[in-house]
Amino acid sequence: MKIPRYYDKLEDYLEPNKALLIFGPRQVGKTTLLNGFLNKTKLKYRLDFGENIKVQDVLGSQDFGQIKEFVEGYELIAVDEAQKIKNIGVGLKIIVDQVPGIKVIATGSSSFELLGQAGEPLTGRKRTINLFPVAQLELKKLYNDFELKNRLAEDMIFGGYPAVVSQMTKSKKIEILYEIVESYLLKDILEFERIKGSKVILNLLKLLAFQLGNQVSLTELAQNIGIDYKTVGKYLNILEQSFIIYSVQGYSRNLRNEIVKKGKYYFYDNGVRNAIISNFNNLALRDDIGALWENFIFMERLKKREYKEIYANAYFWRTWERQEIDLIEEREGKLHAYEFKWNRNKVKTPSQWSETYKNATFEVITNDNYLDFVL
């Protein structure tokens, strides 16, 4: 099954003498997206790979003459897994600065590595897009609303990695998810920051998976794992920049009763989260359906904001009296509050929220009305 992606027309995002950086987790479809574009483009292109030692030597050399000779005669240069190349930012800068009209695409599965190298050299010379696991708004091109709702439970349990979505059997989906977690995501993480083994990282991920939707503190995580909180903070940053988890902070206007010191962590993909805790039970057999729903809807909304360029700051909100709201979007000078509930039970606006933020909106997102929210 060919899954349509939101960025299927990469040509719309390419500009002469600018680099298009495509970020996203491993196995999410960046290479497929790139190859699909290259197969139909009329531009004369060169495709290289960041793991190629010769390519590393040239594009990492910072040598103007060598790099210009390397790309001479091409209209488009594409580099897959560009984060593997040291000083890639400088190399791409030389290309876009020295070759009139040239177009450049670079993909990377670790945004902290590629953006860290490319960010400053390419200031004003790049455009960045993020490719996520398959979104509901992408599946909408294949299914109508009835069919999307019919497959909702499956998406909440197995997530949206393309290889998983394309499989028909539960056993094959589970096999692929374990492979993604163990052979790709953890492999990338262990390459950085002198992380010697996966045990500490796995324990940290399990803690986050079991506390999905709850607020956590670095100190509490550190105590449970047995390492210092600074190391926990470093590992969390790596996990976030590797597109495994996403952090959210509390919203406050410095009122005494609002909690902001603890953060929330969501997983980019429900299937990855369930693989980490080895739980692929049907929804009827789970005691974490509320957390699964919250994670699923939060990430689908994030994908929508990213793909449709809806610019907003995202927070959660909670008070010491335990009044809380799952998502606060601050956009265009206004506050929009959303509470995620799997069932359709009536939910009232938290009194402290309505009293403090009188002009804010409030909406409950359930499995009945969620499609409007994420499509």
Helix axis angle, 229-241 to 199-210, nearest 10°? 80
> pLDDT (tens digit, 0 to 9) for every residue of the chain, 375 residues total?
789 999 999 999 999 999 999 999 889 999 999 999 999 999 999 999 999 999 999 999 999 999 999 999 999 999 999 988 888 888 999 999 999 999 999 998 765 455 555 556 788 889 999 999 999 999 999 999 999 999 999 999 999 999 999 999 999 999 999 999 988 777 767 666 556 567 888 899 999 999 998 999 888 899 998 888 888 888 898 888 888 999 999 998 766 666 657 889 999 999 999 999 999 999 999 999 999 999 999 999 999 999 999 999 999 999 888 899 999 999 999 999 999 999 877 888 999 999 999 999 999 999 999 999 999
Assign 300 to helix, strand or coil.
Answer: helix
The continuous run of DSSP H or E covering 79 comes out as strand 76-80
Is the distance from CB of 237 to CB of 229 less than 8 angstroms?
A: no
Smallest CA-to-CA distance from 185 within 243, 225, 135, 251 is with 243
Is the distance from CB of 67 to CB of 59 less than 8 angstroms?
A: yes
**Residue written as token pair 């490719």:** 131
The continuous run of DSSP H or E covering 176 comes out as helix 170-179
Is the distance from CB of 148 to CB of 140 less than 8 angstroms?
A: yes
Backbone angles phi, psi at 20, to 5 degrees: -95, 115
Cα(309)–Cα(318) distance, rounded to whole angstroms? Answer: 27
pLDDT at 119: 56
Token duo for residue 96: 């876009």
Cα(340)–Cα(318) distance, rounded to whole angstroms? Answer: 14
Secondary structure (DSSP) of 203-248? HHHHHHHHTTTSEE-HHHHHHHHTS-HHHHHHHHHHHHHTTSEEEE
Given the DSSP bridges, would you call strands 19-23 and 126-130 parallel, antiparallel or unpaired?
parallel
Cα(18)–Cα(126) distance, rounded to whole angstroms? Answer: 5
Cα(360)–Cα(350) distance, rounded to whole angstroms? Answer: 12
Spell out the domains of the chain, with CATH numbers in brackets. Answer: 10-130 (3.40.50.300), 136-374 (no CATH)
pLDDT digits (tens, 9 = 90+) for 154-193: 999 999 999 999 999 999 999 999 999 988 777 767 666 5
What's the pTM? 0.93
Cα(259)–Cα(322) distance, rounded to whole angstroms? Answer: 9
Cα(10)–Cα(317) distance, rounded to whole angstroms? Answer: 37
* 320: amino acid identity, one letter: W
Q: If you ran DSSP here, which 8-state letter would residue 348 be given?
A: P
Smallest CA-to-CA distance from 84 within 46, 125, 113, 63 is with 113
Alpha helices in 41-144 (DSSP H): 53-59, 64-71, 88-98, 111-118, 136-139
